[in-house]
Amino acid sequence: MSRSLSPADRAIHQFDNVLRTLVPGAARASRPTPAVDTIHDGEMSPDERHHAAGLMRINHTGEVCAQALYQGQGLTAKLPEVRGQMEEAAQEEIDHLAWCEDRLRELNAPTSRLNPLFYAASFGMGALAGAVGDRVSLGFVAATEEQVGKHLDEHLETLPEGDKRSRAVLRQMAIDEAHHAQQALEAGGARFPGPVKAGMTLMSRVMTKSVYRI
């Protein structure tokens, strides 16, 4: 029989999640990277490598935000099955986090120094959505994953032609994100209206513009 966690246990578990998300090298993927050894990059100029690194840094920060969002929602979700779904999705997002970090390392590029700021903001939004109600929380997941999917599609179009390893990672991430969005809607998530989604798009643009360089 599973033991219920005490407040101290939950605090320790939450702190471990923060460390795994924000400390470079701490995240461990449960699945192998899609950029397998048989996939080799083509020729890329220094400018192309710089652009590829900027895009992958954006995607890495996006996964930091996703982890914070799911952790915040899982903390305040009311139904155990919703909490479990958040934890399952968060594990797949850990894979994405580790894959993006590995690719940045291959490109000799750092992760964003703004990650702690975006983590805190996303955790707060996730906790607030979870506190409002599971239907809103799941709807927020669906809308967020929809935004992430759009970013991934844009990045797949603008990646340098020679960057085949980043492309392999982003294609699998796009598949996973679409699955998470569909799961959230099927679980009863609310479909957010257009103006709310437009606001989320504006916020995501602020993140991408800053993280590309910092």
pLDDT of residue 170: 93
186 is in an annotated binding site: no
43 is in an annotated binding site: no
pLDDT of residue 2: 43
pLDDT of residue 169: 92
Cβ-contact 152, 174 below 8 angstroms: yes
50 is in an annotated binding site: no
CA distances from 166 to 75, 98, 173, 209 (A): 33, 13, 11, 19
What would the mean pLDDT of 127-148 be, rounded to a whole number? 75
What whole-number distance in Å separates Cα of residue 38 and Cα of residue 40?
Answer: 6
**pTM of the predicted protein model:** 0.80
pLDDT of residue 107: 92
Does a structural domain hold residue 199? yes
What would the mean pLDDT of 151-167 be, rounded to a whole number? 91
Does a structural domain hold residue 149? yes
Does a structural domain hold residue 169? yes
13 is in an annotated binding site: no
Q: Which of 185, 192, 168 is nearest to 38 (CA)?
A: 168
pLDDT of residue 156: 92
What whole-number distance in Å separates Cα of residue 170 and Cα of residue 134?
Answer: 29
User: H or E element: which one contains 130?
Assistant: helix 115-132
Does a structural domain hold residue 100? yes
1 falls in which pLDDT band (50, 70, 90)?
Answer: very low
What whole-number distance in Å separates Cα of residue 138 and Cα of residue 122?
Answer: 15
Does a structural domain hold residue 173? yes
pLDDT tens-digit readout, 68-109: 877 777 666 665 665 566 666 667 778 888 999 999 999 999
Q: Which of 74, 120, 69, 114 is nearest to 96 (CA)?
A: 69
Q: Which of 82, 102, 81 is nearest to 37 (CA)?
A: 102
Q: Tokens for 47?
A: 């400018």
Does a structural domain hold residue 15? no
Lowest mean pLDDT among 40-49, 105-114, 132-141: 132-141
What percentage of the chain carries pLDDT values higher than 90?
21
Does a structural domain hold residue 119? yes
Cβ neighbours around 95 below 10 Å, total:
22
What whole-number distance in Å separates Cα of residue 115 and Cα of residue 61?
Answer: 6
16 falls in which pLDDT band (50, 70, 90)?
Answer: low
Q: List the domain range (segments joined by +) for residue 93.
A: 44-211
Report the CATH number at residue 133: 1.20.1260.10
pLDDT of residue 52: 93
How many residues does this entry show for the chain?
214
Cβ-contact 27, 161 below 8 angstroms: no
Angle between helices 46-76 and 164-186 (to 10 degrees): 20
Does a structural domain hold residue 31? no
Instruction: Please count the structural domains in the chain.
Output: 1
